[in-house]
A = this chain, B = another copy of it.
Amino acid sequence: MIQPDSAPRSVRQAPDTVADLGEFGLIAAIQAELPPGDLAIVGAGDDAAVVRAADGRVVASTDLLIEGRHFRRDWSSASDIGVKAAAQNLADIAAMGAFPTALLFGLAIPGDLATAWVLELTRGMVAECGRAEAFIAGGDISSADSIMLAMTALGDLTGARPVTRAGARPGDVIAVSGPVGRSAAGLALLQAGVMSPAGTGPRDLADLVAAHLRPQPDYSAGPLAATAGATAMIDISDGLVQDLGHIAVASGVGIDIQTAKLPGIEVLTTAATMLGTDRLAWALTGGEDHALAAAFPERQAVPATWTVIGKARGGDGIFLDSARWTGAGGWDHFRKPGSMQAG
């Protein structure tokens, strides 16, 4: 049962619920939170938005976030949820080598939800769009028994070829644009009750919790990799092994990961020791880091901000330090997360 009055970390700026305000009142209140977007020709508030696509192509991706599965209101503020929903969707645009341009959102909410919560969520989406230099082009709201967000991001390739999952060749260098496993570690700390969502406590642990609640992808890493000649690229949303597995299958190659090279694994040590967990499991199968993984034709092509972690090879499959990975890869929404069973 939804209890909007008990939602923590939510600034109550209006006493009313979304049912008090009504659909059109709520839409107007949300629109008042949106800055005018310079990419919009016609923005939110009509049947559809018109977004510039000067390239003659548009990149588009869609994502769902469901309360209890992708976020918890006792862990995430409305702003956190807005940031995360926008970030995971905009990162998919970057993973094609494109610049995010616009975001559309669908918001299913119960009528007794506080209007202030919805406006704080909107501000989170607006803030993350600002980081990505995108704007909110439109949305839809509906009543529902629980909260669900549907996000669609659009992007511009600015003349570049899209970088798919299917271009890696044997011999290519595999690199990632940022640390992996931090979101999974943050989630584990919250699940164990070791850390509170407010992030009070040791700074290194608080950073992991923040990485889970409020991911801040480097959107420029995608277009940078495309310009540098990346042959394949993916957003690490389901876990490094699983997502590199997608590149391996789509490209028809094997991929060997050198585990000692995984960036950011040292910051997982304290949390892993505290919880009696293998930090490598977080780095390999933890989802939602929203760093990018890509293949490059040679080491010299890898941008300075990226970290080389392995190599593509002939054959198929994922290898850890030359041993074939036989475990499950990461997160499957209809199954339990895969366990560490490296072979």
Contact = CB atoms under 8 A, between A and B. Distances in A.
Given A96-B50, A142-B70, A64 B106 contact: yes
Interface in A166-217: 166
B152 A111 contact: no
Contact of A148 (B61, B148, B155, B233): B148
A234 interface: yes
A234 B152 contact: no
A45 to B, nearest CB: 8
A50 B142 CA distance: 28
A304 interface: no
Interface stretch (A97-105, A256-264, A313-321): A97-105
A107 B62 CA distance: 10
Contacts of A50: 57-60, 96, 157, 162
A58 B69 contact: no
Contacts of A165: 46-47
A144 B69 contact: yes
A233 B144 CA distance: 29
Nearest to A137: B60
Interface in A32-74: 41-42, 45-66, 69-70
A140 B62 contact: yes
B332 A104 contact: no
Quick one: which of A98, A250, A332 has the most chain B CB within 10 A?
Answer: A332
A173 to B, nearest CB: 20
A302 interface: no
A333 B142 contact: yes
Nearest to A96: B48
Interface of A: 18-19, 21-24, 26, 41-42, 45-66, 69-70, 92-93, 95-96, 98, 102, 104-108, 111, 137-146, 148, 150, 152-155, 157, 162, 164-166, 233-235, 250, 332-335
- Of all A-B residue pairs in the complex, the 7 with the closest CB atoms, nearest first, are A150-B150, A48-B61, A53-B53, A47-B95, A152-B152, A62-B104, A47-B92
